Amino acid sequence: MTIVFKVSENVKNKMIKYYEKIRREKTPPYAIFQAQEADTIITLYESGKVMFQGISADIDASIWIDLEKKLNNRIIDIKTGKEKKLQNNHNNFREFDKYNTIGSDEVGTGDYFGPIVVTATYVAKDKQQLLNELKVGDSKKINDEAIKKIAPIIMQEIPYSTFILTNEDYNKNYSQDLNMNKIKAILHNKALLNLVNKDLDYDKIIVDQFTPATKYYEYLRDVKNKVITITFTPKAEDKCLSIACASIISRYIFLLEVAKISNLLNEDVPKGAGEKVDIFAKKLVDKYGIEILNKVAKVNFKNTEKIRNL
């Protein structure tokens, strides 16, 4: 029996820790690990896909599928590995339509090239009809060409605040004490604080949850001014218009910044962190030297080690 499905980042991290002591010595290509528990072989790939093979594959897989439902509100079909759409998604979205909201979202944290962009937006109830007509939604479900068309309209119609962390600054600041989630928390807080200080008539502040609330505030422990009245919710782009707008604006600005890097290098920079990115980065290193990565890439990503090996 073979079962394959994609896991969320938080479940992925728990999986890595859980199987740490029973990993096999040899790891298949593009896999983070391969482990064996009883008669089930578990392989977790860098893409986030996990494969369970063996007589009890369904039992082992169901543990993590249940965790996806509990932590991320995802319903995964164990037979097909596909995610089922929740029937109440629309109702959840309408729940936040009752309010004037401030919401924030980020883009670029999973991309080797390109900056991290965090945006907060304010959506009043009287702007909702316009945004619905523009078919505003999760930026990951909208192609880049559509993003380029609707983002400038949104930016003209609603208040927003954006912070860009270049990869050069990211590399200077990233450390064990200042990891990705802490960086995101600090940037979210800055963007939210900018809008809160504008004395907008908001009812709720919502953040697309990327870490537990207690951990989020722990990351901001040493920050003097912080926003604390936050509602954290997973998959918030589908539930809240202000977060959907923040997602689109962040994506739009990210695309503009990647275009700047492409113009600088005189080549089209690939997005993401897959094999195409490794090949492109290797060409850059051959042309400019390894130091170029400090300026245009997130050097703590595993891609850097692969490129050095190449």
What is the mean pLDDT of the segment spanning 141-155?
90
pLDDT band at 91 (very low <50, low <70, confident <90, very high): very low
Contact present, 47 and 38 (Cβ < 8 Å): no
Indicate if the pLDDT at residue 249 is higher than 70. Answer: yes
How would you write 95-149 as a 3-class SS string? HHHCCCEEEEEEECCCCCECCEEEEEEEECHHHHHHHHHCCCCCHHHCCHHHHHH
β-strand partners of 207: 104, 232
* Beta strands per DSSP E along 218-310: 230-233
pLDDT band at 72 (very low <50, low <70, confident <90, very high): confident
Tell the CATH superfamily of the 89-260 domain: Ribonuclease H-like superfamily/Ribonuclease H (3.30.420.10)
Across the chain, how many H-helices and E-strands are there?
A: 12, 11
Contacting residues for 132 by C-beta, under 8 A, at least 6 apart:
241
pLDDT band at 89 (very low <50, low <70, confident <90, very high): very low
pLDDT at residue 134, as a whole number: 85
* Spans of all domains in the chain: 2-84, 89-260, 271-309
pLDDT at residue 93, as a whole number: 46
Indicate if the pLDDT at residue 90 is higher than 60. Answer: no
Q: Give the chain's mean pLDDT.
A: 90
C-alpha 171/C-alpha 40 separation (Å) is 39
Choose among 34, 17, 16: nearest CA to 25: 34
Q: How far is CA 100 from CA 14, 121, 130, 206, 243, in A?
A: 36, 11, 14, 11, 12
Indicate if the pLDDT at residue 253 is higher than 50. Answer: yes
pLDDT tens for residues 178-190? 899 999 999 999 9
pLDDT at residue 139, as a whole number: 67
H or E stretch covering 261: helix 241-265
Indicate if the pLDDT at residue 229 is higher than 70. Answer: yes
pLDDT band at 285 (very low <50, low <70, confident <90, very high): very high
pLDDT at residue 138, as a whole number: 63
Q: How far is CA 44 from CA 5, 20, 31, 47, 110, in A?
A: 10, 12, 6, 8, 17
Which CATH number, 3.30.310.10, 3.40.640.10, 3.40.109.10, 3.40.50.300, labels domain 2-84?
3.30.310.10
The secondary structure of 274-297 as a DSSP string is SHHHHHHHHHHHHHH-TTHHHHHB
Contacting residues for 167 by C-beta, under 8 A, at least 6 apart:
113, 114, 115, 294, 295, 296, 297, 298
pLDDT tens for residues 264-281? 899 999 999 988 999 999
Indicate if the pLDDT at residue 92 is higher than 50. Answer: no
pLDDT at residue 228, as a whole number: 87
What is the mean pLDDT of the segment spanning 117-138?
89
| DSSP 8-state symbol, 80 | T
Contacting residues for 85 by C-beta, under 8 A, at least 6 apart:
none
How do 204-208 and 101-107 pair as beta strands? parallel
pTM above 0.75, yes or no: no
Contact present, 196 and 227 (Cβ < 8 Å): yes
